[in-house]
Amino acid sequence: MPKLVTRLRQHAAAIPTKAKVSGLAWKRLYNVGKGFWTDRNLRWINLAHLVGILLLLYANARINVFISETLKHYMNAISAFDHATQMEQLRFFLFALAAITPVQVANNLLQTWLGCNWRNWLTNNLFSGYFANFAWDKLQLKKEIDNPDQRMTDNVAAFCGFSVTLFMSLVDSMVNIYLWSNVLWQISHSLTWTVVFWAVFGSVVVIIIGKALVHLSNTLSENEANLRFTLQEARREADAIALYNGEEMARQQASGKLKAVTDNIVSMAFRYCYLQLFTTPFNGMVPWLAPFFIAPLFASGTVEFGVIAQASVAVVALYGALNVVVNQFGGIAGYAALINRLGSLQEAMVAYANEGKEPAEGLIQVTEGADIVFDNLTVNSDDGTPLVQALNLVLKKGESLCLVGRSSVSTQIVRTLGRIWTAGAGKLQIPAREEIMFLTQMPYLPAMTLRQAIGYPCGTCGDDDQVLKVLTLAELDHLVKKAGGLDVVQSWNSLLTLSERQRLSLARIMFKHPEYAVVEEATSVLEPDAERMFYALLANSGTTIVSAVSKPDLVKFHKWVLTLPGDGTWKLQKASEYMPLASAGGVPVESAQRAVAESEAASVFASRTDNTGPFNWWHAIVASWKKWMPVRKPSV
């Protein structure tokens, strides 16, 4: 027993005394919920849906009042030994029961339907904000917005379902208060006031005792999401965990997240214990109120015996209607947490949508143009430290730039070019998004068909001949058989090796032949000869290239080199100066680069005179590139 008391005290001390709730966060509730009801395409349908539910609620309440009247007459007939009246009232009851059953079924169906429609609209609305303005990436840096995926799925489902349930409960309670208070008022004024006081007093006490549940519910939702994320991460990184012999560490991490969940649930359970210690005896006394007040009236002959039964039904119904806060308090505590989670996510998305519309301090101004222009550009890190300061550079169409130095700085420059990272100052001019293509070290290959993987993100682009030609050039023609055809959905991350995925990424750029290409270690696991040949082909195609590389021998395939040491400074120089390529006879740098590239390609092919082995596909590229895709001349 002492141990139990000690544990109770520990959990009581662990429960926060102040819950972060501001009137159920009414402002956020309004912002999250208003869109569905004001949507021009849905508002009249939603209104008709809502009116239908309200009519069914009223019909249900009226039938219940009729049943209470039937019960009163039936009990009076029993006390009078009137068998004929008993049978008549029994028939009335069976008729009312047959009428109320389809009303309740239809009401539940319409409420579920409304909740699903609301969930579908709200989730899609959040999806639109999440996949726009790079919100999905920026939210990773916003620590207070944890697990946005859970917020857009589980939290939305719970919010919409409980919103409908709570609203209908409030409406139903108002209808029942109106109907049952009239019934009870005609029986006893004092009993009516007693029930009202009893319900109000109970609601106040329950709110005081249970207010900490709002914070605990929010924390539980966060801990549950963290547990799922840990397990998903372990499944995603299964190979790495096995290679590092990290099973025990993964188990400990998952167990730690699980302990946070269970501790939270136990804390909530103890808080619910305090509630139950009050509500069980308090609610248990309600059925005794009617006999206590009506029995003396029956004994004095003021009322009939059946009135006691009718008053008992009316007291329970009126108390339940007045006590809707107590009955729904567990859900309301979680509801407040849901509102805050969805409201904060929506506010963050709105803020991201407004970024860039007006010049803002601490953000890079991004515009579109033919050339890539860094105008006094400063790029900051997550903590505000400048990675590169006052960068001024103009990369004209057809030129190429190689980023060398600290890889973290190069990565942030690539993210800035992709409009993902905007923390800093100055101006950046980049081409339109449809003109530029990004290749990363870890290609993005979601579950899709092979045709879609080649033409991503275009849904159904490219006929069979084009796709097969590109696959052959990339020495990936075996994927057609491996995937079961061009139009069979596959999980490519589990089906392909990293080398095959990088080759598939290169096949994309061959297929699309973009005006601009930003390459970040996209060939890191390919053979050196294949890697050099890829850059040689890009140089010959006239594509404007920005590369972030860690291998010095790739510098020669670019015109300019930008060195980024990571301390805010930078240095721009010609590739010939960074790594001399050719200068005899005044040969232009671009011509020298192309000559060296073609010379290296020729030496590779000469070493494979049998045209077999891992690099025969590059031979095929050289033979067919100019026929399949004309070379664009760089602009002067």
Residue pLDDT, tens place only, 334-344: 787 788 888 88
What stretch of H or E contains 13?
helix 2-14
Fold of 366-628: Rossmann fold (3.40.50)
Structural contact between residues 11 and 270, judged by C-beta atoms closer than 8 angstroms: yes
620 pLDDT above the threshold of 70: no
The mean-pLDDT minimum among 3-17, 147-161, 249-263, 422-436 falls in 3-17
| Whole-number pLDDT of residue 625 | 45
Q: Where are the domains of the chain?
A: 2-354, 366-628
580 pLDDT above the threshold of 70: no
354 pLDDT above the threshold of 80: no
| Whole-number pLDDT of residue 590 | 46
Q: What is the mean pLDDT of residues 69-97?
A: 87
* pLDDT: which is higher, 430 or 359: 430
Strands 424-430 and 372-380: antiparallel
| Whole-number pLDDT of residue 141 | 67
Q: Tell me the torsion sign for CA atoms 228, 229, 235, 240.
A: negative
598 pLDDT above the threshold of 60: no
The chain-wide mean pLDDT, for the chain, equals 79
| Whole-number pLDDT of residue 2 | 46
- The answer to whether 2-354 and 366-628 have equal CATH topology is no
As separate numbers, helices (DSSP H) first and strands (DSSP E) second, the chain gives 25, 10
Q: What is the mean pLDDT of residues 220-232?
A: 86
Q: Tell me the torsion sign for CA atoms 106, 111, 114, 119.
A: negative
3-state secondary structure 124-140: HHHHHHHCCCCHHHHHH
Structural contact between residues 402 and 549, judged by C-beta atoms closer than 8 angstroms: yes
| Whole-number pLDDT of residue 21 | 45
Q: Which long-range contacts (CB under 8 A, 24 or more apart) does 569-574 make?
A: 569/388, 569/389, 570/388, 570/389, 570/391, 572/393
Instruction: Check if CATH label 1.20.1560.10 holds for domain 2-354.
Output: yes
Instruction: Compute the distance between CA of residue 257 and CA of residue 423 in angstroms, rounded to an integer.
Output: 33
| Whole-number pLDDT of residue 325 | 67
Q: What is the mean pLDDT of residues 218-230?
A: 85
Percent of the chain surpassing pLDDT 90: 11
Q: What is the mean pLDDT of residues 24-45?
A: 85
Instruction: Compute the distance between CA of residue 21 and CA of residue 215 in angstroms, rounded to an integer.
Output: 8
Structural contact between residues 551 and 561, judged by C-beta atoms closer than 8 angstroms: no
56 pLDDT above the threshold of 50: yes
| Whole-number pLDDT of residue 355 | 65
pLDDT in tens, 500-559: 888 888 888 878 888 888 888 877 767 777 777 777 777 777 788 898 887 777 788 888
pLDDT in tens, 412-446: 888 888 888 888 889 999 888 888 888 887 777 77
pLDDT in tens, 242-263: 877 888 888 888 999 999 999 9
pLDDT in tens, 271-295: 888 888 888 888 888 888 888 888 8
595 pLDDT above the threshold of 50: no
616 pLDDT above the threshold of 50: no
| Whole-number pLDDT of residue 468 | 86
311 pLDDT above the threshold of 80: yes
Instruction: Compute the distance between CA of residue 605 and CA of residue 599 in angstroms, rounded to an integer.
Output: 10
| Whole-number pLDDT of residue 628 | 43
Most confident of 129-143, 217-231, 491-505: 217-231
